[in-house]
Amino acid sequence: MNYYQFSTEDLAADDYFKEWVSSPGPETEAFWTEFLREYPERYYQVAEARQLVSGLRDIQHQPALTKNVDAIWNRIENTLESTRPMPVERWLTGSRSWKVAAAVLLMLGVGWFGWQQLHKAGFSPMERSLTGNEWVETLNEASQIMHIQLADGSRVDLQKGGRLRYRKELAGTQREVFLTGEAFFDVKKNPKKPFVVYANGLVTKVLGTSFRIKAPADAPTVTVDVKTGRVSVYPNQPSRVQDPESKGMVLTPNQKVVFQRDAATLNKLVVEKPLPLIPKKEMQRFVFEDASVDRVFTAIERAYGIDIIFDEEVMQHCTLTMSIDNEDLFQKLDVICKVLDARYKLLNAQIVIYSKGCPKPL
C-alpha cells in the first residue's frame, strides 16, 4: 500500500490506519513510526487523519451532537453536491459516521461549538503532536517578527502568520523543521548533520548558511533566496530508486529559486537586490582606467558571486575607463552597457552580455 500518496481523508478511511489510532499494537505502531521517520513531511496529513478518526470515535456516540451534526451535514451536502461532488462522494457518502466526522471538522474551522467538542475529547488544535513533547509547533500571531532559537544554536526569524514545527532537541541524523509562511534561517554549521526545511512541497537542505523561504500555505509557488553559503533545493518527491536531491539544484548567495508547486518545477534566478559579498573597502576599488572588459566583469563576478557570460572574441578590443564603486549591481551593468553600446539579460541566475564588439585600436 503506497500510503505516501494518501490524503488526510484517505488515511482516515483506511482500516489499517484506523486500527493504529483506535487500538495500536506492536505491528501497527512500528509500521507508522517507521513511515513517519522515512517521510516526515507527511506529518500534517497523519496528524489530521488521527484527529478525524479519534474525534469520530469519541463523538459519534453522543446523541445530542449527532443530531446537530445531521442538520449541519444536510446543509453542507446540499451546498457541495453541485460544485464538488467527487471529493464528497469519494469518502463521505455511504457512511453516516463519516458524515458526522466531516461536519465536526467543519465546525472546528467555523465555530466555537465544534472546537469545544474536540477540546472536551482532548484534541486541542494547537496540540498536534504524534510523539508527546518531542515536537514543538509555533505560530506567530503577532505583528512583529518572532525570533526562535533552536537547540543547535540556529536562529529562525518567523514572519507574521508563519508556522514552524521542530524537535526540541533536533534529534536524528538530520535537523528537520517544517515551515508554512515566511522565515529567515541562520543555520549553525554542522557538516555531520544537515539542516532540512520542508515547505509546501519543496525541500531545502543546508549544512550551515543563511537563507529566506517564502511558502504561504495557499500560494502556488515557494521561493528560497540565499544570503550566505550554499543551499540545495529539490521537490519533495521521495523515490526508492533515485535520490530526490539529484532532481534539484544548488543555490549560492544572490541566487534564488522559484518552485512551482503544481508542476514541481524549479526556476533559478538572481535576487531582486544582489548584495556585495566582499568587504566595503574592496568595493571602493571599482575604478578602472583603460581596463579590458574581462577584468571588469571578473571584478563584478567576484563582488557579487554571479557569473557573467560574454563572447571574449567579439569583445576582445573593448576597454573601459570609469568609476562605478558606488552603484549597485544593475546600475553598474547599465553604465557598462551604455558605454559599450551593449545590453544584458538575466538567464538561469547568470548575466549574459550581448555586444557587437568594439573596433580594433589603431
Task: Count other C-beta atoms under 10 Å from residue 345's C-beta.
Answer: 10
| Topology agreement, domain 135-270 and domain 280-354 | no
Domains of the chain, residue spans: 3-120, 135-270, 280-354
Q: Which parts of the chain sit beneath pLDDT 70? A: 1, 5, 40-41, 44, 57-133, 238-242
Q: Among residues 163, 179, 277, 176, which one has the least CA distance to residue 224?
A: 179
Q: Apex CA 275: angle with CA 272 and CA 281, to 5°?
A: 155
Q: Which CATH number fits domain 135-270: 3.30.70.1560, 2.50.20.10, 2.60.120.1440, 3.40.50.1110?
A: 2.60.120.1440
Q: What is the pTM of this model?
A: 0.66
Q: Apex CA 79: angle with CA 77 and CA 85, to 5°?
A: 65
Backbone φ and ψ of 237, nearest 5°: -130, 80
| DSSP single-letter state for residue 118 | H
Rounded-to-integer distance, Cα 135 and Cα 128, Å: 9
| DSSP single-letter state for residue 252 | -
Counts for the chain of helices (H) and strands (E), in that order = 11, 18
Residue 199 in contact with residue 168, Cβ under 8 Å? no
> Each residue of 168-180: pLDDT tens digit?
888 778 899 999 9
Q: Using the CB atoms, write b or e for 117-148: b if 16+ within 10 Å.
A: bbeebebeeeebeeeeeebebeebeeeebbeb
Sign of the CA dihedral 295, 297, 303, 305?
negative
The top-level CATH class assigned to 280-354 is alpha beta
The pLDDT assigned to 71 comes to 58
